[in-house]
Chain A
Amino acid sequence: MNVGFNRQTRDDSVSDLAIVAAQPRAAEVERGKVLRRMALFDFFFHNLTRSAAILVLLILGGVIFSLIYGSLPAIRAFGLGFLTTESWNPVTEKFGAVAPIYGTLVTSAIAMLIAVPLGLGIAIFLTELCPHALRRPIGVAIELLAGIPSIIYGIWGLFVLAPFLQQHVQPALISLTGDIPVLSSLFAGPPYGIGMLTAGFILAIMVLPFITSISRDVFDTVPPVLKEAASGVGCTTWEVMRYVVIPYTRVGVIGGVMLGLGRALGETMAVTFVIGNAHRVSASLLAPGTTISATIANEFTEAVGDVYTSALIELGLILFVITFFVLAAARFMLMRIEQKSGA
């Protein structure tokens, strides 16, 4: 339709020239018509795009509203006690969110402990140490890790990583830490293979590419002059990174880490495979546990009764609120570094 539209205006302008002298009136009228039609279309298109933008807001509003609406029965039944009760009993319909929240926080913490230093190391490697020819292929390879769907991490974690950890890593951890007071309780119990440590491991691999690519991008915003000045006064490569680049990009790096944390908190399928789905709070990292998202994924379709379903939706609401604040903080920090690099 637009092709025709445009050609018509072009023809009009040509005929305009011919007719101008003879019949100024008719041409004027025709021109006005076309212009009005174009203005009308522009008005229509403007409002169409604006409604689409507003719809994005409505989607978020809808998500929040529907989660609150869906969890009303559970909120009425348990009140704030939902957040402080550990028991999760579908038979007696007593539900508490402590175990899933605990599992979510612990697995994410393990993931961040592994992924943050590793991600920063890879980002430093990519920006400072990597031979130029390898920079792009390695960057792409790391980003491919981000592209692999989470269910693939799950099936790999269940059939490859968990047996490996069970046979080789976890027994070693248990015997190594047997006599050390705090660590021995962290690594207590039999090596199941699946459990919170394994889930944290998988999450670390999954968030690694996010932390790496954002850190690399913010490292690239450092003005070369700053780095050259530091090298000029005799700093080693590491000192340039440690005392110039990282302090300069601190806000952005923290933003990237928070973004990774947001991913780790909400990650579902990979964790569901390897967490063991046990509703209890256990000090040992080797013990099976559960996370908010794993509980929902495992139990939602089998949930019978309003209260059970609604308790699961309330878990979803809690997850959404936690990730919302983490992601909002991350975006806020990344926005600040963007302004800095723009200025």
Chain B
Amino acid sequence: MSLYSHRRRVDAVAKALCWTGTLFGLSWLVLILGALIYEGARGLTPAVFTEMTPPPGSSGGLLNAIAGSLVMTAIGVVVGTPLGMLAGTYMAEYGRYSKLSTVVRFINDILLSAPSIVIGLFVYTVVVARVGHFSGVAGAIALAVLVVPVVVRTTEDMLLLVPGPLREAAAALGLPRSHMLLRVAYRAAKSGIITGVLLAVARVSGETAPLLFTSLNNQFWSTDLNAPLSSLPVVIFQFALSPYKDWQQLAWTGALLVTIAVLLLSISARALSSRGNYK
């Protein structure tokens, strides 16, 4: 009987620890979001969206940083998505059982979690060191390299979910594989692939490390992609570590903006994929 009560006690303790652990984990999310909203919302004025990043001691906004981030993320996604989709298509369709696909799958999974700062160093040595100066293009390339593995992974996973009979039906009509893919498989996997792209955007829009020494930073308005380009994460990094109160406030506000954007993207991606599941 005492053995049994001992086991009951161990069980109760373990369950209690799991409960507290979960509450502990969730409290981090609440604490981080709470601090962000509390500190960030104070500085959320229209000037943030209309003025350039200021020199220390004067007021300003984050317009050039926001614009730079949008431009580089857009180029990165536009370059990285088709590449990732094509590679994912090869792995799920043409080369599903080939050696090449196994190797690419393995390498892609490693790229997916490789430190992003290493990607920054890669683009630095390949682009920045060759050209001789930092540029928005280099930053966009670094982001594209980060987009590719995410899209490859989701495209492959989603195409593998497309039922085989759909493919066979298309083949029975005499369509070659490329037509089956473009007209049948991509349509069936559409919401999943869009989810992957959204997740990729969410991932790169908060990336800082690969931009530090590719696009660097620019205090002024610039649309020249061949020159250093400002981005929100890099500005947050620079301003938060500065001793100036105005800059720190702008860093918090920028952090709030980035987080809202990233969380909205990942929540909509999740909503999209769960809707796709019910269909």
Which residues on A are within 8 Å of B, measured CB to CB?
2, 6, 38-39, 41-42, 44-46, 48-57, 59-60, 62-63, 66-67, 69-70, 117-118, 121-122, 124-126, 128-130, 138, 140-145, 147-156, 158-160, 205, 208, 212, 236-239, 241-242, 259, 262-263, 265-269, 272-273, 293, 296-297, 300-301, 312-313, 316, 319-320, 323-324, 327-328, 331
Which of A39, A45, A153, A327 meets B113, CB within 8 Å? A327
- Contact assessment for A327 and B11 in the assembled complex, using a CB-CB cutoff below 8 Å: no
Q: How far is the CA of A267 from the CA of B114 in the complex (A)?
A: 9
- Contact assessment for B126 and A62 in the assembled complex, using a CB-CB cutoff below 8 Å: yes
- Contact assessment for A59 and B212 in the assembled complex, using a CB-CB cutoff below 8 Å: no
The reply to whether the CB of B176 lies closer than 8 angstroms to some CB of chain A is yes
Q: How far is the CA of A52 from the CA of B89 in the complex (A)?
A: 9
- Contact assessment for B177 and A138 in the assembled complex, using a CB-CB cutoff below 8 Å: no
- Contact assessment for A144 and B263 in the assembled complex, using a CB-CB cutoff below 8 Å: yes
Closest to B25 in A: A122
B residues in contact with A148, CB < 8 Å: 32, 206, 259, 262-263
- Contact assessment for A48 and B126 in the assembled complex, using a CB-CB cutoff below 8 Å: no
Q: How far is the CA of A208 from the CA of B21 in the complex (A)?
A: 11
Closest to A260 in B: B113
A residues in contact with B22, CB < 8 Å: 121-122, 125-126, 130, 138
The reply to whether the CB of B87 lies closer than 8 angstroms to some CB of chain A is yes
Chain A's nearest CB lies how many Å from the CB of B233?
5
User: Which of B178-186, B189-197, B218-226 binds A?
Assistant: B178-186
A63 and B118 contact, Cβ closer than 8 Å, known pairs A53-B87, A327-B109: yes
B residues in contact with A125, CB < 8 Å: 18-19, 21-22
- Contact assessment for B126 and A158 in the assembled complex, using a CB-CB cutoff below 8 Å: no
- Contact assessment for A236 and B117 in the assembled complex, using a CB-CB cutoff below 8 Å: no
Q: Mark B226-261, 1 if CB is under 8 A from A, else 0.
A: 000000010011001100000010011001001100
A2 and B117 contact, Cβ closer than 8 Å, known pairs A69-B125, A313-B125: no
- Contact assessment for B114 and A320 in the assembled complex, using a CB-CB cutoff below 8 Å: yes
A156 and B32 contact, Cβ closer than 8 Å, known pairs A60-B107, A121-B22: yes
B residues in contact with A212, CB < 8 Å: 25
A38 and B125 contact, Cβ closer than 8 Å, known pairs A46-B94, A316-B117: no
A151 and B258 contact, Cβ closer than 8 Å, known pairs A138-B22, A316-B117: yes
User: Which of B42-50, B60-68, B98-106 binds A?
Assistant: B98-106
B residues in contact with A242, CB < 8 Å: 14
Seed contacts A59-B148, A327-B114; 4 additional CB < 8 Å A-B pairs? A45-B182, A121-B21, A266-B115, A297-B117
A142 and B26 contact, Cβ closer than 8 Å, known pairs A67-B125, A149-B258: yes
- Contact assessment for A56 and B152 in the assembled complex, using a CB-CB cutoff below 8 Å: yes
What is the interface residue range for chain B against chain A? 35 or more
Q: How far is the CA of A150 from the CA of B212 in the complex (A)?
A: 14
- Contact assessment for A141 and B117 in the assembled complex, using a CB-CB cutoff below 8 Å: no
B residues in contact with A138, CB < 8 Å: 22, 26
A residues in contact with B208, CB < 8 Å: 149-151, 268-269
A residues in contact with B39, CB < 8 Å: 159
- Contact assessment for A268 and B83 in the assembled complex, using a CB-CB cutoff below 8 Å: no
B residues in contact with A265, CB < 8 Å: 115
Q: How far is the CA of A52 from the CA of B87 in the complex (A)?
A: 5
Chain B's nearest CB lies how many Å from the CB of A22?
23
A296 and B114 contact, Cβ closer than 8 Å, known pairs A147-B202, A152-B259, A331-B109: no
Q: How far is the CA of A260 from the CA of B31 in the complex (A)?
A: 22
- Contact assessment for A297 and B258 in the assembled complex, using a CB-CB cutoff below 8 Å: no
- Contact assessment for A57 and B104 in the assembled complex, using a CB-CB cutoff below 8 Å: yes
The reply to whether the CB of B15 lies closer than 8 angstroms to some CB of chain A is yes
The reply to whether the CB of B278 lies closer than 8 angstroms to some CB of chain A is no
A56 and B10 contact, Cβ closer than 8 Å, known pairs A45-B181, A320-B118: no
- Contact assessment for A313 and B212 in the assembled complex, using a CB-CB cutoff below 8 Å: no
The reply to whether the CB of B131 lies closer than 8 angstroms to some CB of chain A is no
B residues in contact with A241, CB < 8 Å: 14
B residues in contact with A236, CB < 8 Å: 7-8, 10-11
Which of B83, B149, B179 meets A2, CB within 8 Å? B179
Chain A's nearest CB lies how many Å from the CB of B28?
5
- Contact assessment for B206 and A150 in the assembled complex, using a CB-CB cutoff below 8 Å: yes
The reply to whether the CB of B78 lies closer than 8 angstroms to some CB of chain A is no
Q: How far is the CA of A87 from the CA of B121 in the complex (A)?
A: 23
